């Protein structure tokens, strides 16, 4: 288990090592979200290579279409 903050809330997630792992563990659709890791906005192509450490802070935003 690893403890991180997601949108300001402390969460414990099992066996996550990367941002991609977090998205999968949370059941998120990658094409519909944006992720900020410790204050840095990430491109989707960076998710698999960005390591998650204890107490990291993620902000996850859901993209919504509309007008």
Predicted structure pTM score: 0.89
Q: What is the CATH number of the domain that holds 27?
A: 3.10.20.30
In angstroms, the CA 1 to CA 54 distance is: 9
In angstroms, the CA 40 to CA 6 distance is: 14
From 48, 57, 62, select the one nearest 20 (Cα to Cα): 48
Task: Judge whether 67 lies within some domain.
Answer: no
Positions in the chain short of pLDDT 50: none
Q: What is the pLDDT at residue 64?
A: 80
Phi, psi (rounded to 5 degrees) for 56: -60, 155
Q: Which domain holds residue 14?
A: 2-62
Q: What is the pLDDT at residue 15?
A: 85
Give the total number of structural domains in the chain. Answer: 1
Task: Judge whether 48 lies within some domain.
Answer: yes
């Amino acid at each position: 288990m690893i403890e991180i903050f997601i949108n300001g809330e402390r969460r414990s997630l099992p066996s996550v090592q990367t941002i991609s792992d977090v998205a999968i563990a949370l059941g998120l659709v990658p094409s519909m979200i944006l992720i900020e890791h410790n204050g840095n906005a990430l491109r989707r192509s960076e998710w698999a290579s960005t390591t998650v450490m204890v107490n990291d802070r993620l902000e996850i935003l859901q993209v919504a279409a509309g007008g």
